[in-house]
Amino acid sequence: MASKRKPNKLVLAVFGGLHATAMALTWRDLRRRPPALIRGNKKIWRIASTMNTGGAAAYWLIGRRRTPAPAKH
C-alpha cells in the first residue's frame, strides 16, 4: 500500500517560481518578436506557456525562427 505523503512546500515553491519565470520570459519575447520570426500564432504560444512549463520550453525550442519565414508566392 502506498503511503500518502504531503508535497514538499519548498519543492512546489521552486517549481512554481521556475514556471512563472519561464512564462514571463516567453511573454516578453513574444511581445518583442515580430510575427515573421514566430512559428504559429502568438496567442496560442501565450496559452501554451501558461498551461505548463513544457509549453514555454516548446516555444523556445520550436516556436522561434532564427530568420524570417520565406515569402509565399
The stretch 9-16 carries a mean pLDDT of 93
Residue 17 has pLDDT above 90, yes or no: yes
- The per-residue pLDDT for 67 is 82
* Residue among 12, 31, 20, 5 nearest 53 (CA): 20
pLDDT tens digits, one per residue of 30-71:
999 999 999 999 999 999 999 999 999 999 999 999 887 777
The stretch 20-33 carries a mean pLDDT of 97
**CA angle, corner 51, sides to 46 and 56, nearest 5?**
55
* Longest Cα–Cα distance in the chain: 63
